[in-house]
Structure 1
Amino acid sequence: MSTEFHKLLFEISEALVTDELAALKFLSLDHVPRRKLEAIHEPKAFLEVLQEKDMIGAGNLFFLKELLYRIHRIDLLTAHLGSSREEMERELQVLGRAQVSAYRQLLYGIAEDLTSEDVRSVKFLLQKQLPKTKLQENASMLQVFLEMEINGIIKEDNLTMLKDILQRFRADIKKKIDAYEEKKKENYSREEVRYPVSVSVYPEEQGAEGEAAKQHGKIYKMKNNPHGYCLILNNHIFRNPRYNREGTLQDGEAVKRVFKWLQFETVEYMDLEGKKIYETIKEYSKKDHRNMDCFVCFIFSHGEKDKIKGVDDECVNIDDLVSCFTGTNCPSLAGKPKVFIIQACQGSVRHPSVAVESDCSGPLEVDASPLTSIPDKADILIGMATVEDYLSYRSRRTGSVYIQSLCEKMELLCPQREDLAAILTEVNNEVAKRELEGSKQMPKITSTLLKKLIFEVPQ
């Protein structure tokens, strides 16, 4: 990390006072565990935790800008971060840009609006719900809100008790909660009617395709050109020549052929070290995808269970790569599909082979299942060449069994408007049937897609 960046964080931390630190911690609760925040007692430690969580970095200061804007430290925003109130207001109007949730903004705004007498009234009315030790005179409104959350009295989709309390002496603030709830309902309604379902929109479609048109609201939209990036990270030549992956160039060519045909901006990076794999993925997560429909990433390398190896034999966790594209870390892709296809081993269980070789570089541990946190991340699909603990296979001459099968199936089934999950299931079936010199391979699909992902074929 650069000296200039550390100096910047030091100067900002020196300018923050205790109450402001408490506000920053409260506003960050959706991104940093409460237990970790409770252990922080000074601003420097808070900024260090944000770095650890990858919420801020030398080239990624938006979350810090937003936090300072929310707590009204416009002087720090202007003097140290080259921004302004007006610029932040414009930025935060962009859908999905704000990283502090509307719920947490609401609670913080209420805490700011309440007078000392109001806070005493809230504490008095909560005596039966919260322990007296949590309602002492020096407890701030933000601390009270935290205790209410811990005890299940309030949560994002249920603010009934807080409304009832405020109705008694601050009906004006209760109306703010009403407005928040109304907006939340509107957002849900807008999501439900985003895509028209009238058959008349698709007059040329009849029969089964007409029925598909009726279900259009359950299909991710694909209207832009290009539809998105297709990023290929292809490791061929390793530091140790005995691990070189012959045949992987054919995989790269097959993917480029298919995704250029499907109108994706296709980019291939060759022979990356472990650290560079992560940095490249991170770089693409920070790009502006607002005019894109989708993101696709192929990774070809050696691997261990839930890890990918760089050409320097250093590993990077698959979950760390995927996490770069959560709604929080890549807001311009929030609600859009993110696809990761990984050709690598996930363990060391070997089968005899002659004409094919494994995408694995040595004895590996087998004590953990990969991608256990993926179900918490919406709109992500991961296709793995093999289930955990096992090897995947690649022909030196024609490329990997999994990737070549996938590309063939996409060329066959995309024109028939098959969705990607169905295509990958076909690939699973085909690969599982094959005898690989006495060996078998079973690919795996992990998906939190909320709709069908159908790639549009250009006419």
Structure 2
Amino acid sequence: MSNHLSSTVVTMNPSDVHKLLYDISEDLDKTETLEMIFLCEKRITAQEKENITDAKTLFSYLQRKDCISGDNLSFLKELLYRIGRNDLLREKLGVRTEDMKQLIEISAQISPYRILLHDISQGLSKKQVDDLKYLLNLSTAKTENAPILDIFLELEKVGKLSPEDLQVLKYNLEAIGCKNLSKNIEDFERASEADNQGLESLPDLIEKISIQEEQSNMTVQEASTGQPRLPQAETESDSGRPQQHTHINLETYRLEKQPHGWCVVINNYDFREARSRDCKYSNREGTMKDAEDITKIFNERGYITEEHKDLTAENIRKTLEMYSKKDHAENDSFVCFILSHGGIGTVCGCDGEEVEIKRLTKYFNGQHCPSLINKPKIFFIQACQGKESHPKVDINTDTESSFSFYEQDAMGTHLPLEADFLTAFATVEEYTSLRHIEKGSIYIQQLCKALTTHLCQDLIDMLTFVNNEVAGMLFPLGRKNVTQMPSFKSELRKKLVLPPPDATQFR
């Protein structure tokens, strides 16, 4: 396992974490504990809430759910920040308020809706709380002496309060003279509406853009800015007048950290264990060349490159779960290569067992890896997604296959990818991918070549270019001539330009 750059993340051992949480809990009163429970939202169930008597119990639940761990204290830090305990952040965790503000701007884990309700609760006097309870008419023994945050939870249960419907709360806040708090709701609604309008209008905007093909064989634009051009085109409006179309101006993910994050390479070569279980998987000759080239390229680009060889299916799961639990707060992206045999929607461990790709990517979604929220998570899968090969010409397959330098990574459900994910496959579903026994995998080698040549290119454009390059190649496989068609699935919200080797030119 190689490590080009040392990680800045400090992992605390369990006893130190336990002592830290104890010290913090001793400085938190019951009201502050209730505030943190409220901000935890669905991380703490109603039943668990009934059992929580103090901050120590709350922290124990959060540890069991991996929300707090020795290598990831980001959620704990945000909780303390939200309840206004900046003194504990500074004294116990060594975090300045200014740094915390920057951190949550990048990767906040508590929903804006929960923060809104918490802020409203902090702005109400005891009399205003009593008046609000009266107007809301929640006349149950449970709510009579309940704190305002519990009243909000009760309103949610009866369907009178949600992120999409804040009218009841807004109306009653105005009724008790809290127009400043009512304005907070209006600001939240405007922000939510702007986000929704942006999502809804994007397809219409794309529809209006006419792409003019200037060449029959398009190549990837090698602009130093890495920004693809969408040409302007004139069309006629409904009134018959020419109408000028506009460009789509997409933001670009900011990759400015050093190191940028981990580049994990899972490299399965030896399948003897699989063959001992009657799985007909050959050793993956040529894969070492792939891993070597990947490591070199991503080391040069400022990633912590770590290779894991010959993992069983269970160890593939455990390894990626381990990386998902690391603190990525000081990183700006995550990259993973899986080089193995595979099937439809799966990759194989060296024991022949399969693991679903969607299960592996799920470890890194916003729920399980909050420190990677709003940051690109890139997966490259060098494996077959089925058993079929792409025929290029008509052939006679009755005779035995002769020796070939190319092999198949034999044996793709489409992935329900979440925000900021990009998953690239060596081939489309139900088809095989090819690997040269000396020079490495066709797809990985073309990808590495593109990454080396097109330094400031948008990654989606680059992958499209690689798809075109690989699809245009002809490979002899036994007596057959076959092709290969790579694919990718993107849930990116911005343009993604991987940092070039000389990172200073990217800043």
User: Normalising by structure 2, what TM-score?
Assistant: 0.64
**Which whole-Å CA distance do the structure 1 matches of 2:253 and 2:309 have between them?**
34
Deviations 1:82-138 (A, max 9, x none): 347xx24541244224422333222112223334443343333334xxx75597313
Deviations 1:9-53 (A, max 9, x none): 456567766554432221011x62756755754555643442344
Selected match of 2:123 from 106, 113, 116: 113
1:264–1:314 Cα change, 3 Å: farther
Selected match of 2:323 from 281, 301, 304: 281
Which residue of the partner structure matches residue 122 of structure 1? 132
Q: For structure 1, which segment, 317-326 or 165-174, has the greater mean C-alpha deviation from structure 2 after superposition?
A: 317-326
- Equivalent positions of 1:82-121 (< 5 A) are 82-83=93-94, 87-94=96-103, 95-121=105-131
Selected match of 2:179 from 150, 171, 177: 171
Which residue of the partner structure matches residue 380 of structure 1? 421
Deviation at 1:286, TM superposition (A): 1.7
Selected match of 1:404 from 417, 424, 445: 445
Selected match of 2:66 from 44, 51, 54: 54
Selected match of 1:138 from 145, 148, 151: 145
Which residue of the partner structure matches residue 309 of structure 2? 271
Q: Is this contact kept in 2: 1:235–1:310, CA < 8 A?
A: no
Deviations 1:313-367 (A, max 9, x none): 88776446535654577677654433211123567x588986454546x9xxxxx
Higher RCO by CA contacts (8 Å cutoff, separation 6 or greater): 2
Q: How many residues align?
A: 425
Q: Is this contact kept in 2: 1:235–1:245, CA < 8 A?
A: no
Which residue of the partner structure matches residue 15 of structure 2? 3
- Equivalent positions of 1:352-371 (< 5 A) are 355=404, 356-359=406-409, 369=413, 371=415
- Equivalent positions of 1:408-447 (< 5 A) are 419-420=461-462, 422-423=464-465, 425-426=467-468, 429=471, 436-437=477-478, 443-447=486-490
Larger helix proportion of the pair:
1
Deviations 1:287-338 (A, max 9, x none): 6235xxx543322234566565666888776446535654577677654433
1:369–1:123 Cα change, 3 Å: farther
Q: For structure 1, which segment, 436-445 or 401-410, has the greater mean C-alpha deviation from structure 2 after superposition?
A: 436-445
Selected match of 2:339 from 297, 300, 305: 300
Q: Is this contact kept in 2: 1:402–1:427, CA < 8 A?
A: no
**Which whole-Å CA distance do the structure 2 matches of 1:350 and 1:178 have between them?**
56
**Which whole-Å CA distance do the structure 2 matches of 1:134 and 1:405 have between them?**
68
User: Any stretches of 5+ residues in structure 2 without a counterpart?
Assistant: 1-12, 202-222, 233-245, 276-281, 390-399
User: Normalising by structure 1, what TM-score?
Assistant: 0.69
Deviations 1:402-440 (A, max 9, x none): 323444566787788771453365368558x86755688
Q: Which has the larger radius of gyration?
A: 2
Deviation at 1:145, TM superposition (A): 1.6
Q: Is this contact kept in 2: 1:394–1:400, CA < 8 A?
A: yes
**Which whole-Å CA distance do the structure 1 matches of 2:158 and 2:145 have between them?**
20
Residue identity (%): 33
1:40–1:96 Cα change, 3 Å: farther
**Which whole-Å CA distance do the structure 2 matches of 1:451 and 1:204 have between them?**
18
Q: For structure 1, which segment, 235-244 or 17-26, has the greater mean C-alpha deviation from structure 2 after superposition?
A: 235-244
1:414–1:122 Cα change, 3 Å: same
Structure 1 SS opposite 2:263: strand
**Which whole-Å CA distance do the structure 2 matches of 1:280 and 1:246 have between them?**
28
Deviation at 1:449, TM superposition (A): 1.6
Q: Is this contact kept in 2: 1:238–1:312, CA < 8 A?
A: no
**Which whole-Å CA distance do the structure 2 matches of 1:88 and 1:416 have between them?**
37
**Which whole-Å CA distance do the structure 1 matches of 2:224 and 2:112 have between them?**
42
Selected match of 2:290 from 251, 259, 277: 251
